[in-house]
Amino acid sequence: MQLPDYVRIGQVQKGLAELLQHSFSAIAVLVDENTYQYCYPIVAPILPQGHQIIAIPSGEQHKNLQTCQQIWQALTNMQADRNALLINLGGGVISDMGGFCAATYKRGIRFVQIPTTLLAQVDASIGGKLGIDFQGFKNHIGVFQLPFCVLIDTSFLATLPWRQLRSGFAELLKHSLIADWQAWHELTRAHHLQDVDWQKVVHHSIAIKERIVSQDPHEKGLRKILNFGHTLGHAIETYFLENRPAEQGLLHGEAIAAGMIAEAWLAVRKTGLPQQEFEEIKWHLLQLYGKIAISQHEIASIAQLALQDKKNQNGIIQLSLIEAIGACKYNVPATVKELKEALLAYCQMPAEIHDNNGTSIDQVGM
Ligand code: GLY
């Protein structure tokens, strides 16, 4: 399957050396404290002398206008002109926010994404969605702009904690659920994340996304299917960000996994997803991600947050719901009441998973 023409998968040093054959007036590298420590040393020997490092704190809570101002200020201080290059070295926050700052600085300078997390490799850095959170709403302010280049090196994944890897894996599972039945079966056959052939599955997952995005780059229609699990997933993620202590914070993919279970429950009722396929999805996702502890009294607030979802039209909630594993519909209208029912169904699912013999599996195992 075809990769987008701006994506290179392979050794990052080689990709960067080729890229730097183009001429740029200045080069800045955007990092956070983690990618500065673990990833910058890998690319630093390839970068020309005099490049600038722009360091920002890691975490979704910093994906905001204030941090953008720091980035624009740093570019201004180094007198970056329109021929400058910004290299975004990091996960989804760095690629979304760094890309947004580059796309708006002096009406746009070139930027390169070097995604270092699985989530950013298969999703955030692909397809040109850039942006920041605003007043608690995820990716509320942003633009569409393709990067000059995306360099994907799956050896970065070895630097990730297991929870981060599992979070990114949710987007691979989502790509398979919406568009590739066979990929779903291959991905769920892996017993442990460390057994996965990352180069192969990342390549395949990007190609699935590209097949969708190339038909609808600005999300007027088909691209909305990439948001399966995200209406409720984002609402859960936002709710936790605002209402729970940092130590209970959810990673994006963890919230999306819960969102996919709840939306698949709704899909049985609204788009005819077969019950047996729902059970299969629920089983695999609960086994890998466990269950997020949401209390029944929190459901109404979470469902309300979904009213801000960018897919909604004329105040009507529009969901992307699968109709079978590998096939997804978009613009499926839903009410707040239905979202509450789906969240309640999720809350009432047993946290313990049973295998086909009824034996309890209490360790989230992959
Ligand atoms: N992350 C969904 C999209 O790029 O459309």
Identify residue 230 by its one-letter amino acid code: H
Which among 204, 209, 282, 284 is annotated as catalytic?
209
pLDDT value at residue 186: 95
| φ, ψ (nearest 5 deg) of residue 151 | -110, 115
Q: Please state, in angstroms and as integers, the Cα–Cα distance from residue 345 to each residue in 132, 253, 340, following that order.
A: 31, 20, 9
| φ, ψ (nearest 5 deg) of residue 287 | -65, -40
Ligand 1 pocket residue status of 285, Cβ below 6 Å: no
Atom index in ligand 1 nearest the CA of residue 223 equals: 5
Distance in Å, CA 82 to ligand 1 centroid = 27
Q: Is the pLDDT of residue 333 over 90?
A: yes
Q: Residues 320, 329: contact at Cβ < 8 Å?
A: yes
Tokens at 145, concatenated? 């702009």
Tokens at 336, concatenated? 């707040």
Q: Is the pLDDT of residue 366 over 80?
A: no
Mean pLDDT score, 147-156: 97
Mean pLDDT score, 298-307: 94
Which among 34, 88, 139, 227 is annotated as catalytic?
227
- What is the average pLDDT value for the chain, to the nearest integer? 93
Report the nearest-CA residue for atom 1 of ligand 1: 123
* 347-362 pLDDT per residue, tens: 999 876 654 444 443 3
In order of their start, the domains of the chain are 7-159 (3.40.50.1970), 166-356 (1.20.1090.10)
Q: Is the pTM of this model over 0.95?
A: no
Quote the percentage of the chain above a pLDDT of 90: 84
- Active-site residue 60, yes or no? no
Ligand 1 pocket residue status of 127, Cβ below 6 Å: yes
Report the nearest-CA residue for atom 3 of ligand 1: 226
Which among 203, 234, 270, 291 is annotated as catalytic?
234
Task: Count CA atoms within 13 Å of residue 306 on its CB side.
Answer: 29
Q: Which of helix, strand or coil describes residue 202? A: helix
Ligand 1 pocket residue status of 146, Cβ below 6 Å: no
Q: Residues 33, 62: contact at Cβ < 8 Å?
A: no
pLDDT value at residue 363: 36
- Active-site residue 209, yes or no? yes
pLDDT value at residue 352: 62
Rounded distance between C-alpha atoms, residue 174 and residue 303, angstroms: 21
pLDDT value at residue 361: 39
Distance in Å, CA 91 to ligand 1 centroid = 15
Distance in Å, CA 129 to ligand 1 centroid = 7
Q: Residues 225, 179: contact at Cβ < 8 Å?
A: yes
Q: Is the pLDDT of residue 268 over 50?
A: yes
Note the residue count of the chain.
366
Distance in Å, CA 209 to ligand 1 centroid = 8
Distance in Å, CA 146 to ligand 1 centroid = 12
Count other Cβ atoms within 10 Å, centred on residue 155.
12
Rounded distance between C-alpha atoms, residue 278 and residue 183, angstroms: 17
Q: Which of helix, strand or coil describes residue 20? A: coil
Pocket test for ligand 1, best of 145, 174, 209 (most atoms within 8 A of CB): 209
Q: Please state, in angstroms and as integers, the Cα–Cα distance from residue 248 to each residue in 2, 134, 137, 292, following that order.
A: 39, 21, 19, 10
Ligand 1 pocket residue status of 147, Cβ below 6 Å: no
Contacts of 108 (CB under 8 A, 6+ apart): 82, 102, 145
* 154-206 pLDDT per residue, tens: 999 988 999 999 999 999 999 999 999 999 999 999 878 888 999 999 999 99
pLDDT value at residue 309: 78
Ligand 1 pocket residue status of 175, Cβ below 6 Å: no
Give the range among 45-54, 97-106, 310-319 with minimum mean pLDDT. 310-319
Contacts of 183 (CB under 8 A, 6+ apart): 175, 176, 204, 205, 208
Mean pLDDT score, 136-140: 85
pLDDT value at residue 362: 36
Which among 175, 230, 282, 284 is annotated as catalytic?
230
Distance in Å, CA 123 to ligand 1 centroid = 6
Mean pLDDT score, 230-256: 92
Rounded distance between C-alpha atoms, residue 277 and residue 127, angstroms: 29
262 pLDDT tier (thresholds 50, 70, 90): very high
